[in-house]
Amino acid sequence: MAYNNLAEFVQVLERAGELKRIQYPVNAELEIAEIADRVMKANGPALLFENVSGKQIPLLINAFGSMKRMALALGVDDVEIIASEIDKLIRTKPPKNFRDKLALLGQLAKLAAIPPKMVGAGVCQEVIEREPDLNILPVLTCWPGDAGPFITLPMVFSKDPKSGTRNVGLYRMQVFDQSTTGMHWHLHKVGARHFSSKRKTPAAWNWPSAWAAIRR
């Protein structure tokens, strides 16, 4: 991993001339999406909206919207360097002996850069919201006619109520109020299976997708 946090990456983007700070008040409902759409189509820079109307948190968008910014994010001069490493790894034949295993371990360590480790606490726990409020987040309403603001690619954690096995998935979530969202999934998704098991209903439902109100 090239960076310890997002703030470091923002600084790198700015030094590289790949970031535009916007201090003028903008609205998360339609306005930011319209600005970002025009900038992306013009191959423009990443945008940091520092003053989102009615929100307490700034919004970064288009951070990975070019090959250069992707390379910066990966800490390389060219994304093809990473692509070639991955290609080499997937073409690697299964190890036949201990020497082959050591060689493969070296490739994996190089690709991962930093070996994983278990920790008791993380930086993300420095600020704890005892009464979380989704309304402080600059969640976008992107298109006229949308049902409301949507968190497009959240990391949603669920747990199998029987086995305790955990899963993380990307499910589009509509914000209803300060503590409630509607989560969309397809039947084959693990989150849907966990929900089905919790509700003690058959795994196969008779509609193409399932909507569930997820409350804290």
- 115 or 55, higher pLDDT: 55
Answer whether residue 130 is part of any domain: no
**In a domain? residue 73:** yes
- Are the C-beta atoms of 137 and 57 separated by less than 8 Å? yes
Last residue of one domain, picked from the residues 97, 117, 137: 117
137, part of any domain? no
pLDDT (tens digit per residue) in 97-109 = 766 666 666 666 6
Residue type, 187: L
What's the pTM value of the predicted model, to 2 decimals? Answer: 0.74
Strands 173-177 and 46-49: unpaired
- Is 124 contained in some domain? no
In this prediction, residue 110 has a pLDDT band, given cuts at 50, 70 and 90, of low
Same domain, 113 and 151: no
Instruction: Identify the residue with better confidence: 185 or 14.
Output: 14
Q: Tokens in use for 182?
A: 């509607």
- Model pLDDT for residues 25-82, shown as the tens digit of each residue: 999 999 999 999 999 999 999 999 999 999 989 999 999 999 999 999 988 889 888 7
Residue 177: per-residue pLDDT: 94
Q: Say if residue 8 is in the same domain as residue 108.
A: yes
Do 45 and 109 lie in a common domain? Answer: yes
- Round to whole Å and give the CA distance between 9 and 4: 9
- Tell me whether residue 198 is in a domain: yes
Claim to verify: residue 18 and residue 108 sit in the same structural domain: yes
**160-182 pLDDT, tens digit each:** 888 888 999 999 999 999 999 99
- How much is the pLDDT for 203? 47
Q: How far apart are CA 145 and CA 19, in angstroms?
A: 30
Domain shared by 110 and 152, yes or no: no
Q: What is the 3-state secondary structure (H, E, C) of the chain?
A: CCCCCHHHHHHHHHHCCCEEEECCCECCECHHHHHHHHHHHCCCCEEEECCECCCCCCEEECCCCCHHHHHHHHCCCCHHHHHHHHHHHHCCCCCCCHHHHHHHHHHHHHHHCCCCCCCCCCHHHCCCCCCCCHHHCCCCECCCCCCCCEECCCEEEEECCCCCCEEEEECCEEEEECCEEEEEEECCCHHHHHHHHHHCCCCCCCCCEEEEEEEC
Residue 155 lies in a domain: yes
Is the confidence at residue 205, as pLDDT, over 50? no
At residue 83, the pLDDT reads 78
Residue ranges making up the domain that contains 197: 147-215
Res 53: pLDDT: 96
Mean predicted lDDT score pLDDT of the chain: 83
Indicate if 24 and 106 belong to the same structural domain: yes
Q: Are 90 and 196 members of one domain?
A: no
| Assigned domain for 134 exists | no
Q: Could you tell me if 50 and 12 lie in one domain?
A: yes
Q: Are residues 17 and 111 in the same domain?
A: yes
Residue 138 lies in a domain: no
- Verify that 31 and 107 share a domain, yes or no: yes
Count up the domains in the chain and report the number. Answer: 2
Q: What is the mean pLDDT of residues 194-198?
A: 85
In this predicted model, what pLDDT tens digit does every residue of 130-152 receive, in sequence order?
888 999 999 999 999 999 999 98
Fill in the amino acid letter for 116.
P
**Residue 13 sits in the same domain as residue 80:** yes
